[in-house]
């Protein structure tokens, strides 16, 4: 009985070795082939890319290629016009212009047209009478700023503007009388800006 049991165990082991292992290897190869085939069936159309974040692009207008002599009627002096801009500003848009000032002064002038808003307002007359009237007023979000910055250090040399912490005067001008390499930064919202930059004549 013992010998017969040993023989039966040996037969089972032999069957498992010669039949079971090749069968397992065959199943593994089939599984690998299945995985590979599934992997290869994935097409590029299934790959989803995240679109880049939209950014507000600044429109940099073309500048005059050659200086133009301009007569300032108020100061009764001649200047060379080096830059002009007439553009609508929105959402804090910024426009930069670089200039190495060798002929002082740098004379910056701007005339603004803020966005106007129409509203219907309730008006009381006396104690028992009231009526509605249409009003047009400047947008409370309108502002504009011009900064003259040192191109190297970024230090503010001078600045003027409209709205926010500035005055409500829409037509302004100012001068920078020191030579230097400057970057003029213009920014604003709800306003159309007509900007003119002049320098002194040689």
Rounded Cα–Cα distance for residues 116 and 135 (Å): 10
Give the model's pLDDT for residue 189: 97
- Looking at residue 55, its pLDDT comes to 39
Cis previous bond, 149, omega within 30: no
User: Residue 38: its pLDDT value, please?
Assistant: 46
User: Can you give the pTM of this predicted structure?
Assistant: 0.62
Pairing of strands 106-114, 191-200: antiparallel
CA distance 139 to 162: 12
pLDDT tens profile 142-190: 999 999 999 999 999 999 999 999 999 999 999 999 999 999 999 999 9
Q: What is the dihedral of CA 91, 183, 110, 62, to 10 degrees?
A: -80
Q: How far apart are CA 104 and CA 146, in angstroms?
A: 18
Q: Which residue has the tokens 């002049």?
A: 198
Residue 193 three-state SS: strand
Closest alpha carbon to 189 in 72, 77, 87, 74: 87
Question: Which residues does the chain have with pLDDT short of 50?
Answer: 34-57, 62-65
Q: What is the spatial distance between Cα 35 and Cα 181, in angstroms, rounded to a whole number?
A: 65
How many angstroms separate the CA atoms of 21 and 29, rounded?
12
The pLDDT value given to residue 43: 41
d(CA 96, CA 85): 11
């Amino acid at each position: 009985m013992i010998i017969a049991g040993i023989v039966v165990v040996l037969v089972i082991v032999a069957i498992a070795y010669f039949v079971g292992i090749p069968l397992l290897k065959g199943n593994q190869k089939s599984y690998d082939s299945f995985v590979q085939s599934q992997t290869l069936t994935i097409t590029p159309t299934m790959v989803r890319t995240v679109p880049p974040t939209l950014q507000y692009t600044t429109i940099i207008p073309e500048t005059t290629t050659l200086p133009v002599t301009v007569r300032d009627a108020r100061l009764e002096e001649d200047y060379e016009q080096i830059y002009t801009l007439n553009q609508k500003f929105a959402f804090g848009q910024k426009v930069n212009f670089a200039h190495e000032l060798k002929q002082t002064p740098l004379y910056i002038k701007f005339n603004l047209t803020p966005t106007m808003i129409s509203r219907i307002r309730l008006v009381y007359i006396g104690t028992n009478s009231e009526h509605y009237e249409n009003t047009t007023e400047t947008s409370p979000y309108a502002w504009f700023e011009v900064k003259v910055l040192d191109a190297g250090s970024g230090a503010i040399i001078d600045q003027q503007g409209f709205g926010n912490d500035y005055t409500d005067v829409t037509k302004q001008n100012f001068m920078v009388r020191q030579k230097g390499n400057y970057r003029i930064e213009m920014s604003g919202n709800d306003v159309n800006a007509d900007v003119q930059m002049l320098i002194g004549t040689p």
